[in-house]
Structure 1
Amino acid sequence: MRLVIAGGGTGGHLFPALAIARALKSEDPGAEVLFVGTKNGIEARIIPTTEFPIRFITARGMMKTGIINSILSAVEIPVGVLQSIFLLREFKPGCVLGVGGYASGPTVFAGRIMGIPTAIQEQNSVMGTTNQALTKIVDRIFISWQDTEPVTPSNRTILTGNPVRQEVLLSSREFPKQQDEFRLLIFGGSRGARSINQSIIDNVSSIAEFADRLRILHQTGRDAVEEVKSAYEEAGIQAEVKEFINDMGSAYHWADLIVCRSGAASLAEITALGKPAIVIPYPYAIGDHQARNAAVLEAIGAVRVVKDSNLMNGTLLKEIGKLIDNGELLAQMAENAKQAGRPYAAREIARELLNLERSPR
């Protein structure tokens, strides 16, 4: 099979796409996968370091405001469609999959024009703008949440869960533990989260009573490493503070409790591994999808939710303190998370794409 995967822009779109690409190669070792993205997205940096090729098109988001952006979108979207048509003619894929992000729309639309089977994969409980626009023209819609909005259930819609990278699922490292040691992983996405970092800086002394047994791994992003590190040192807490954690699989397996945003990729990884978490929805997410993602898992007791607006009053640290000494609740949260996890989502999507390519049109 030859598959084009279009989209990216952020890790939330790209990493599930990579999981699908690798699952397809496992199902069909002769498969060829081509990524299509933009030069400004994360895919331009990440894909060249993988085993997959990438091509770039011109694309711009439809949500951009202002007259200049509206004019540029009106010009660039047709250009992107034409570029995609030429690209698809050259590669001759059996299927085109859009994963959200700027490049997804023109490429999937071009595939539809050319009569190539098309599909989209939505990571969040609230569908992104590009995917919303494509729902009426694609052959398959892969969703990650039962109540994804605004999707009308049909025989084209398949609930798969959000794909998780194998390197996250299958970390082989062992982490021997000292008695009573409690391990806390904190991160706010690939670039960190300023409000989470500031909450730690301002309030970390409130969990200093656990310093003798608490071990923390904290991904801050570029600008807060030294300040966060100093805050932990002043509180007497042993912490490893990093700009970026390269091996997230090992970090997840190491942790007893996770603190993070409620992006779809993070929640998919947490549930696939059965890890308890405190999540802080990003308040400016489009359609407030992070809050909705979090609410689904909070309702089944898999996560605790802290509002971003409550970070500065110490609520996050209070929640951490409550959970450190409540092993029974942590175990129940972990079990609830595992029940919600779908670790084989990538494989399911890969198999559906193979079936889609073979099905009569």
Structure 2
Amino acid sequence: MAQTFLLTAGGTGGHLFPAQALAAELIRRGHVVELATDQRVGAYGADFPARNVHVISSATLAGRNPVALARTAYRLARGTWQARGVIKLLKPDAVVGFGGYPTFPPMFAAFLAGVPSVLHEANAVMGRANRMLAGRVSAIATSFPLVGEAAGAYPQKTVQTGNPVRDAVIAASGTPYDLPQDGGAFQLLVFGGSQGARFFSDCLPPALECLPAETRARIRLVQQCRPEDIDRVRSAFERIGIVAELAPFFPDMAERIAASHLVVCRSGASSVSELSVIGRPSVLVPLPHALDNDQGRNADILARAGGAWPVAQSELDPARLAALVTELMADPGRLAEAADSAKRAGRPDAVRRLADLAEHIASGGPLRTTDTRHTSSGDAS
């Protein structure tokens, strides 16, 4: 029987990509999907397979300034009121949230309306908004075994599904790793999450300039840059003779990952999941100063599997990055082993698992009757 699902996610790739994957799977199963998100949805919303997109007011808690806190509280309350209207109109069978403060109003509105809900946590550390919601949802789906203060807090309703990846990632996962040839072109991909990373724009040109001329000549670089950085980065690469393709956003990122010999990127949950499903070696540079070090924990998981080399941003100067790239380019066998290890750690079935859970919760079934192979903390009964 067709069901209606309201998915809710913040308007950045890290939140919207797994939501997009789930939406596509639910639609394949004959269900109706609608999306509630914030005003940042932009280019990502254009490809989201939802019947309608509802922009809901939201804000992020930041600092302790009373005026700022009051403004945030007002926006979250306004968003909850808007979300209650959407839920009243749609009468969804379940609401599925993907984290971040934009998820809070629709998920809290679902709780107030008595609508079953599933909260998905993409990172190894549960975010603050999800921690606020965890006690009010029907089920919690995780990408990794949780660490930190939320670990083990809700064992009866926590299910490890993995992090859903988009159909394009699943398609790209069928591309075998192309072992770099001695003296041949070396495909290097650099990106910094959905918003880009100024650190890579600052670090890559001087790092690649440090390479020996014959090594530098092999590199074919694809790099995501913020719009305001592209001109200066392009000029720097032209000056040192690097063949580079630069853009603020690559809509075919899955194919770009599959075509790469080495990836240098942040370690957000979506990036780590896509690297592992496709199976590509990576140098991971976790976003520094994160309150819960979520990206650091994500990077550690892929590193322990043998698929990545994490380096703290504070320790990655141009000379260190140049040495690391040179070392890896000179050892194709090591890169191939890392690609294989990353792929073995991937969860290409995550979207099926999460869709199964969402359908089960929407049907009103108790969590203990779900397939216990999904659970991250033993039998959920």
TM-score of the aligned structures, taking structure 1 as reference length: 0.92
**Alignment correspondent of 1:106:** 105
SS of the residue corresponding to residue 135 of structure 2 reads coil
**Alignment correspondent of 2:372:** none
Does structure 1 residue 341 correspond to structure 2 residue 340? no
Does structure 1 residue 228 correspond to structure 2 residue 243? no
Partner amino acid, structure 2, of 1:320: V
Q: Is the 8 A contact 2:84 2:110 kept in 1?
A: yes
**Alignment correspondent of 2:208:** 204
CA RMSD of aligned residues (A): 2.2
**Alignment correspondent of 1:16:** 18
**Alignment correspondent of 2:378:** none
Using the TM superposition, name which of 295-304 and 323-332 deviates more: 295-304
C-alpha distance 176-327 of structure 1, shift in aligned 2 (>3 A): closer
Partner amino acid, structure 2, of 1:186: V
Question: Could you tell me how far 1:56 is from its partner in structure 2?
Answer: 2.3
Question: Could you tell me how far 1:175 is from its partner in structure 2?
Answer: 11
Give % identity: 31
For 2:146 and 2:24, the matched residues in 1 are separated by 27
SS of the residue corresponding to residue 103 of structure 1 reads helix
SS of the residue corresponding to residue 101 of structure 2 reads coil
**Alignment correspondent of 1:194:** 198
Using the TM superposition, name which of 134-143 and 1-10 deviates more: 1-10
Q: How does 1:63-102 map to 2 (within 5 A)?
A: 63-102=62-101
SS of the residue corresponding to residue 22 of structure 1 reads helix
SS of the residue corresponding to residue 246 of structure 1 reads coil
Does structure 1 residue 37 correspond to structure 2 residue 37? yes
SS of the residue corresponding to residue 316 of structure 2 reads helix
Structure 2 counterpart of 1:219, from 218, 224, 232 = 224
For 2:27 and 2:47, the matched residues in 1 are separated by 17
Question: Could you tell me how far 1:173 is from its partner in structure 2?
Answer: 8.9
Partner amino acid, structure 2, of 1:296: I
Q: How does 1:341-360 map to 2 (within 5 A)?
A: 341-360=346-365
Q: Is the 8 A contact 1:37 1:102 kept in 2?
A: no
C-alpha distance 84-212 of structure 1, shift in aligned 2 (>3 A): closer
Q: Is the 8 A contact 2:177 2:336 kept in 1?
A: no
Q: How does 1:125-140 map to 2 (within 5 A)?
A: 125-140=124-139
Which runs of 5 or more residues in structure 2 are unaligned?
367-381
Question: Could you tell me how far 1:350 is from its partner in structure 2?
Answer: 0.9
For 1:167 and 1:345, the matched residues in 2 are separated by 14
Q: Is the 8 A contact 2:209 2:216 kept in 1?
A: no
For 1:55 and 1:304, the matched residues in 2 are separated by 39
**What is the total number of aligned residue pairs between the two structures?**
357
C-alpha distance 224-77 of structure 1, shift in aligned 2 (>3 A): closer
Structure 2 counterpart of 1:301, from 303, 306, 321 = 306
Using the TM superposition, name which of 275-284 and 240-249 deviates more: 240-249
C-alpha distance 248-58 of structure 1, shift in aligned 2 (>3 A): same
Using the TM superposition, name which of 298-307 and 274-283 deviates more: 298-307
**Alignment correspondent of 1:50:** 48
Structure 2 counterpart of 1:329, from 329, 334, 357 = 334
**Alignment correspondent of 1:271:** 276
For 1:70 and 1:131, the matched residues in 2 are separated by 18
Q: Is the 8 A contact 1:62 1:129 kept in 2?
A: no
Cα deviations across residues 273-292 of structure 1 (Å, max 9, x unaligned)?
A: 11100011110323121111
For 2:257 and 2:187, the matched residues in 1 are separated by 10
**Alignment correspondent of 1:246:** 251
Does structure 1 residue 141 correspond to structure 2 residue 117? no
Q: Is the 8 A contact 1:17 1:99 kept in 2?
A: yes
For 1:333 and 1:174, the matched residues in 2 are separated by 13
SS of the residue corresponding to residue 35 of structure 2 reads strand
For 1:123 and 1:175, the matched residues in 2 are separated by 26
